[in-house]
């Protein structure tokens, strides 16, 4: 829970837990085997839908002092609102939807002069479960208090400033209760978001705000709305029209209308005005799933709609005013019908369906208010809402595609079988890599220390280092797909998993289905095959360095030149041993020929431009390959998989392509004799970009010499856990450098022979220590920065909360005891 070497090369996990894994419902996963994980996630998703409806229903009952089918109906609207459908795959955020009604109910209690317990506990819960959604709810709560206080829209026996102070105190206690996870998460985010580009804040509307109207249509959603679209705010006909009527109902206080109107306007503006949008998302625009806070707007609409319905049932409806609301909705229908070409997720059929539900809803409200004593109308309303929300659910989800459960379960079996086999052969500390992949988190799935990860809390130092050594990486992911023999050795990539060449047709299909090629590594021929499972070969890297070793330099200077990946690796090698010289040297191809393509003046940075656009085009070249040498080509980030294909001697090279910087593609490896290869770069489009294309040769013998020298004084690990490593190292001289490939973090502490020493950073990525002559026991321990401080703050807050809960009980008992004594 605190640290994992399965997170790329190693990283803090508490921040990962606080964003992805803290939902209490995740404990259900522990009751089932791994093979049932997809089914358990399905069960958890359904339970979260149900719990969202439950908390909404409880809140409606408490706020409106009513029960019955209307509560069930509007709870169903909340549980199946458009946001829930669009974010069905993001169960990590749904706990906020579950807790929002309780937080709102607790806030209402405070604003009306009541207690703070419900507010404190529910707000603290969401801050612990998902700080990201908790941030959004905190903004909503703050805006609500400010607006309603300024409008004096609630009744209280206390002065307004006392109520606000009471709310502030309760909010601080909530945050303090969650400090044990919030404080270390804050420091983790500082490490992971430090390369977040500070793009200029644009005071602009992201789209025409009237386009939001289309999202009130049944089924107004498709896959294209996930990466970039308008807010998903569907709430059904009855909730929407009654929300509009809220502002026309004569029995609802004017101050409440003004306050809720301002709050709604603020929410609408937030969903289209970029500076506010950025604020809600933690000062960074989201990547995919835009307007993630729009569930709060929907909750507000549903709550106001339910309140207006209750007022209408008690006091009747003024139909002239209701007609204005209906007119507004009809105008909205006309707008989206006329502008339907602007809404690729809409069809005339969907608009017609929405119109039918609106007509039925208006008819039901009319008959119900005319015949209020008829007991079947509440049930009819629930059935109508259930059908409408269910229709939206079915139509919306039909536009999404799902993977088969076997895609996960079969892959996890294959990966765990391979990693289990390596652990039986080798119980030491090492990392493993693959030439195939299902996701970027395969190391966590397969239960081994790998080199790839996707995480919203991925450390910036890791992404920068991966970019520098030529591996795909960006803000939220790092993929160890383009390693070289040198980086494999340096990073303790001791074992490689590759697909087996199987002849059996069923096994071949399994391999094809579940072991998706990631990248080609011809240089693996220098590694020895040591074992295999049904579908996976296991290769051992003979050059692998241990996690720690002695290097020749006493001072590890920072590496500032990161312009070329091969040059960067040369600098790292020279820093470890200045005598090694350059591992990589540049290579110039021979016999470059253009086939159906215009000749480029600068081959390295140009494009393959087709002459005849109907025919294939490419560039072919010959590269001399020396024995015991590996060859690589650098590819700029614009050279995507869709635009170019690479073939060596007629065989395609698989290449993972999504990166912020150039990557290194392994072309070939020389064996025991010199030879030549023919590289063909094919253009898949009419204008295929060539960017930072350079060729390099890596001397395998130099790598072997370097690693053999560095392995003479290894860090011999005697015990290691997820966050603790203990071992011994022997230094022949004073003031030597113990170099490690443990990612540097202030959370790591180190002791040498029981005495605390200060870890230092090298290559802007890893830890090194200064070691004196002799044999030493070195121990590394990781504790998330801020964890101890957060725990202390949370304990203090817990005592305060117990005091808040216990003092009234004590006071009542004391009063009862005094009264009893007086009577006696």
- DSSP per-residue codes, 622-673: EEEE-TTEEEEEEE-TT--TTTEEEEETTEEPP-----SS-EEEEEEE--SS
Is 19 within a domain? no
Q: How far apart are CA 168 and CA 442, in angstroms?
A: 44
> What is the C-alpha to C-alpha distance for residues 664 and 345, in angstroms, rounded to an integer?
40
Q: Please name the residue that has the structure tokens 């993972």.
A: 656
- Kind of pairing between the strands at 493-499 and 716-720: unpaired
Strand, helix or coil for residue 762: strand
Task: Choose the final residue of a domain: 652, 674, 700.
Answer: 700
Select the highest-mean-pLDDT range: 192-196, 282-286, 810-814.
Answer: 282-286
Selection from 180, 187, 222 nearest residue 11 by Cα: 187
CA-based nearest residue to 784, from 68, 217, 1, 140: 1
Residue 657 within a domain: yes
Mean pLDDT of 435-442: 96
For the cut 90, the answer to whether the pLDDT of residue 139 exceeds it is yes
8-state DSSP, 279: H
Using an 8 Å Cβ cutoff, are 639 and 691 in contact?
A: yes
**Among all chains, which residue has been given the structure tokens 């644009």?**
202
**pLDDT for res 196:** 56
3-state secondary structure 514-579: HCCECCCCHHHHHCEEEEECCCEEEEECCCCCCCEEEECCCCCCCCCCCCCHHHHHHHHHHHHCHH
Alpha-carbon span 310 to 324, nearest angstrom = 19
Q: How confident is the model at residue 193 (pLDDT cuts 50, 70, 90)?
A: confident
Q: Is residue 488 part of a domain?
A: yes
**Residue 139 contacts residue 280 (beta carbons within 8 Å):** yes
Secondary structure class of 13 (helix, strand, coil): coil
Percent of the chain with pLDDT over 70: 98
Q: Residue with structure tokens 């130092």?
A: 461
CATH number, domain of 768, equals: 2.60.40
775 near 738, Cβ under 8 Å? no
Q: Does position 194 have pLDDT exceeding 70, yes or no?
A: no
Residues 215/201, Cβ–Cβ less than 8 Å: no
Say whether both 391 and 452 belong to one domain.
Answer: no
Residues 423 and 365 grouped into a single domain: no
d(CA 518, CA 423): 23
In a domain, 677, yes or no: yes
Query: d(Cα 657, Cα 515) in Å, to the nearest integer?
Result: 17
Say whether both 341 and 226 belong to one domain: yes
Predicted local confidence at residue 815, as pLDDT: 78
Q: What is the pLDDT of residue 601?
A: 82
Same domain, yes or no, for 652 and 742? Answer: no
Q: What are the pLDDT digits (tens) for 337-365?
A: 999 999 999 999 999 999 999 999 999 99
Residue 297: in which H helix or E strand, if any? helix 294-315
Residues 255, 389, single domain; the answer is: yes
Model pTM greater than 0.75?
yes
549 is a domain residue:
no
Q: Average pLDDT of 754-759?
A: 96
Please report the pLDDT score of residue 797 as a whole number.
96
Instruction: Evaluate whether residue 559 is within a structural domain.
Output: no
Give the whole-angstrom CA distance, residue 338 versus residue 448. 56
* Same structural domain, 651 and 711: no
Tokens, residue 137: 């709810």
Residues 616 and 758 grouped into a single domain: no
For residue 589, give the nearest of 650, 676, 692 by alpha carbon: 676
The whole-number pLDDT of residue 699 equals 95
Return the beta strands (E) in 536-616 as ranges. Answer: 536-540, 548-551, 584-587, 590-595, 606-609
pLDDT at 778 over 90: yes
| pLDDT above 90 for 322 | yes
Domain co-membership, 251 together with 145:
yes
**Average pLDDT across the chain, whole number:** 94
- In terms of domains, do 360 and 469 share one? no
* pLDDT for the residue numbered 200: 67
Residue at a domain's end among 344, 364, 397: 397
Q: Indicate the range of 387-401, 573-587, 687-701, 804-818 predicted with least confidence.
A: 804-818
Task: Report the chain's C-alpha Rg in angstroms.
Answer: 32
694-713 pLDDT, tens digit each: 999 999 999 999 999 999 99
Strand partners, 536: 499
Task: Locate 576 and state its tokens.
Answer: 């470890």
Say if 816 falls within a structural domain. Answer: no
First to last CA, the chain: 59
**Count of domains for the chain:** 4
In the block, tokens 């070939």 appear at 668
Domain end call among 378, 397, 416: 397
The reported pLDDT for the residue numbered 734 is 83
Decide if pLDDT at 103 tops 90.
yes
Q: If DSSP codes are grouped into helix, strand and coil, which group holds residue 309? A: helix
Q: Among 78-87, 432-441, 598-607, 720-729, name the one with the lowest average pLDDT.
A: 598-607
**Cα–Cα distance measured from residue 588 to residue 812, given in angstroms and rounded to the nearest whole number:** 89
pLDDT band (50, 70, 90) for residue 553:
low
Query: In angstroms, rounded to a whole number, what is the distance separating the alpha carbons of residues 375 and 564?
Result: 76
Tokens 């580009």 belong to residue: 197
Decide if pLDDT at 561 tops 90: no
Query: What integer is the mean pLDDT of 221-241?
Result: 96
How far is residue 19's CA from residue 133's CA, in Å, rounded to a whole number? 9
* Dihedral sign, Cα of residue 173, residue 178, residue 183, residue 186: negative
SS3 call for 66: coil
User: Which positions ≥6 away from 58 have C-beta within 8 Å?
Assistant: 101, 102, 105
Residue 820, classed as helix, strand or coil, is helix
The crossing angle, in degrees rounded to 10, of helices 160-177 and 91-111 is: 150
Q: Which of 607, 418, 444 is nearest to 515 (CA)?
A: 418
pLDDT for 555 equals 61
Q: Say yes or no: 533 and 648 in one domain.
A: no
pLDDT of residue 812: 80
774: left (phi over 0), alpha (psi -120 to 50) or beta: left
For the record, the structure tokens of 103 come out as 């937080």
Q: Which helix (H) or strand (E) holds 787?
A: helix 787-823
| 673: CB partners within 8 A, 6+ apart | 627
The larger pLDDT score, comparing residue 402 to residue 174, is at 174
What is the pLDDT at residue 164?
A: 93
What is the extent of the structural domain holding 646? 583-700
- CA torsion sign, 133 to 134 to 139 to 140? positive
Task: Clarify whether residues 299 and 324 are in a common domain.
Answer: yes
Identify which of 167, 276, 288 has the alpha carbon closest to the alpha carbon of residue 227: 288
**Cα-based distances in Å from 9 to 3, 119, 457, 469:** 11, 41, 14, 13
Which tens digit of pLDDT belongs to each residue from 483-499?
999 999 999 999 999 99
Paired residues of 621 in beta bridges: 679
Average pLDDT of 567-581? Answer: 91
Helix (H, G, I), strand (E, B) or coil at 451: coil
Interval 158-170: pLDDT, tens? 788 999 999 999 9
pLDDT band at 824 (very low <50, low <70, confident <90, very high): low
Which DSSP symbol is given to 17?
I
Q: What is the pLDDT of residues 53-90, one digit of tens each?
A: 999 999 999 999 999 999 999 999 999 999 999 998 99
* Token pair of 58 as six digits: 């409880």
Q: What sign for the dihedral angle of Cα 633, 639, 640, 641?
A: negative
Helices vs strands, H then E, count in the chain: 24, 29
pLDDT > 90? residue 655: no
> 9, 8, 10: which is closest to 723 by C-alpha?
10
Q: Say yes or no to pLDDT of 560 above 90.
A: no
Q: What is the CATH number of the domain that holds 680?
A: 2.60.120.260
pLDDT digit string, tens, across residues 363-416: 999 999 888 888 899 999 999 999 999 999 999 999 888 888 999 999 999 999
In a domain, 801, yes or no: no
Instruction: Please state the rounded mean pLDDT for residues 277-288.
Output: 92
Q: Which residues are CB-neighbours of 329 under 8 A, at least 6 positions away? A: 240, 241, 244, 358
Count the residues in the chain.
824
Do 115 and 155 sit in the same domain of this protein? Answer: yes
Confidence of residue 195 (pLDDT cuts 50, 70, 90): low
Q: What are phi and psi of 357, to 5 degrees?
A: -65, -35
pLDDT value at residue 287 = 86
């Amino acid at each position: 829970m605190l640290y994992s070497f399965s997170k790329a090369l190693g990283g803090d996990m508490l921040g990962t837990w606080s964003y992805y894994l803290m939902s209490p419902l995740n404990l259900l996963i522990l009751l089932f085997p791994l093979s049932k994980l997809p089914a358990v996630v399905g069960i958890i998703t359904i339970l979260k839908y149900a719990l969202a409806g439950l908390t909404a229903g409880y809140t409606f009952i408490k706020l409106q002092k009513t029960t019955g089918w209307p509560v069930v109906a509007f709870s169903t609207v909340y549980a199946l609102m458009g946001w829930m459908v669009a974010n069905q795959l993001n169960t990590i955020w749904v706990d906020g939807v579950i807790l929002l009604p309780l937080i709102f109910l607790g806030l209402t209690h405070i604003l009306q002069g009541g207690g703070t317990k419900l507010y404190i506990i529910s707000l603290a819960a969401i801050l612990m479960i998902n700080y990201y959604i908790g941030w959004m709810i905190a903004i909503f709560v703050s805006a609500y208090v400010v607006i309603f206080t300024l409008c004096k829209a609630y009744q209280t026996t206390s002065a307004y400033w006392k109520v606000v102070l009471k709310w502030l105190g309760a909010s601080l206690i909530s945050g303090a209760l969650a400090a044990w996870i919030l404080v270390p998460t804050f420091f983790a985010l500082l490490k992971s978001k430090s390369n977040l580009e500070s793009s200029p804040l644009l005071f602009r509307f992201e789209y025409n705000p009237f386009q939001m109207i289309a999202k009130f249509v049944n089924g107004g959603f498709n896959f294209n709305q996930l990466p970039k679209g308008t807010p998903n705010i569907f709430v059904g006909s009855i909730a929407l029209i009654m929300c509009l009527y809220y502002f026309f109902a004569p029995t609802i206080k004017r101050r409440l209308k003004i306050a809720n109107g301002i709050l709604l306007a603020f929410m609408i503006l937030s969903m289209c005005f970029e500076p506010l949008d950025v604020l809600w998302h933690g000062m960074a625009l989201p990547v995919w799933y835009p307007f993630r806070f729009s569930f709060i707007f929907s909750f507000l609409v549903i709550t106001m709609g339910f309140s207006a319905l209750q007022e209408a049932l008690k006091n009747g409806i003024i139909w002239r005013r209701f007609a204005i609301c209906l007119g507004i909705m009809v105008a909205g229908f006309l707008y989206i019908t006329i502008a339907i070409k602007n809404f690729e997720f809409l069809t005339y059929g969907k608009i017609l369906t929405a119109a039918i539900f609106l007509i039925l809803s208006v008819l039901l409200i009319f008959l119900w208010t005319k015949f209020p004593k008829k007991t079947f109308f509440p049930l009819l309303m629930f059935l109508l809402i259930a059908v409408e929300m269910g229709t939206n659910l079915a139509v919306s989800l039909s536009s999404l595609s799902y993977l088969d459960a076997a895609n996960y379960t079969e892959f996890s079996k294959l990966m765990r079988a391979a990693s289990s086999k390596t652990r039986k052969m080798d119980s030491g500390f090492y990392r493993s890599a693959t030439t195939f992949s299902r996701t970027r988190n395969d190391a966590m799935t397969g239960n081994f220390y790998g080199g790839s990860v996707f995480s919203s809390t991925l450390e910036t130092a890791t992404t920068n280092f991966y970019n520098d050594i030529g591996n795909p990486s960006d803000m939220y992911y790092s993929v160890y797909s383009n390693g070289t023999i040198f980086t494999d050795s340096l990073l303790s990539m001791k074992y490689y998993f590759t697909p087996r060449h199987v002849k059996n047709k069923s096994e071949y299909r399994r391999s094809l289905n579940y072991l998706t090629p990631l990248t080609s590594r011809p240089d693996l021929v220098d590694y020895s095959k040591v074992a295999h499972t049904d579908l996976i070969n296991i290769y051992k890297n003979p050059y692998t360095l241990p996690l720690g070793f002695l290097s020749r330099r006493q001072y590890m200077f920072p590496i500032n030149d990161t312009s070329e990946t091969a040059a960067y690796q040369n600098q790292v090698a020279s820093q470890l041993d200045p005598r090694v010289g350059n591992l990589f040297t540049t290579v110039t191809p021979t016999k470059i020929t253009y086939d159906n393509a215009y000749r480029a003046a600068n081959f390295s940075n140009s494009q393959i431009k087709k002459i005849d656009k109907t025919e294939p085009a490419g560039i072919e070249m010959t590269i001399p390959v020396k024995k015991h040498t590996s060859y690589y080509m650098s590819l700029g980030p614009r050279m995507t998989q869709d635009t170019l294909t690479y073939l060596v001697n007629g065989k395609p090279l698989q290449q993972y392509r999504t990166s912020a910087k150039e990557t290194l593609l392994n072309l070939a490896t020389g064996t025991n004799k010199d030879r030549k290869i023919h590289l063909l770069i094919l253009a898949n489009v009419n204008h295929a970009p060539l960017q930072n294309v350079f060729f390099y040769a890596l001397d395998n013998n130099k790598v072997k010499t370097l690693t053999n020298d560095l392995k003479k004084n290894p860090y011999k690990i005697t015990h290691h856990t997820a966050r603790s490593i203990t071992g011994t190292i022997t230094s022949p001289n004073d003031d030597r450098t113990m170099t490690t490939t443990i990612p540097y973090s202030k959370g790591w502490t180190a002791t040498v022979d029981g005495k605390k020493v200060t870890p230092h950073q090298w290559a802007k990525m890893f830890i090194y220590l200064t070691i004196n002559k002799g044999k030493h026991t070195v121990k590394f321990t990781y504790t998330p920065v801020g964890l101890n401080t957060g725990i202390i703050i949370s304990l203090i807050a817990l005592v305060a909360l117990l005091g808040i809960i216990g003092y009234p009980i004590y006071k009542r008992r004391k009063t009862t005891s005094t009264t009893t004594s007086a009577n006696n």
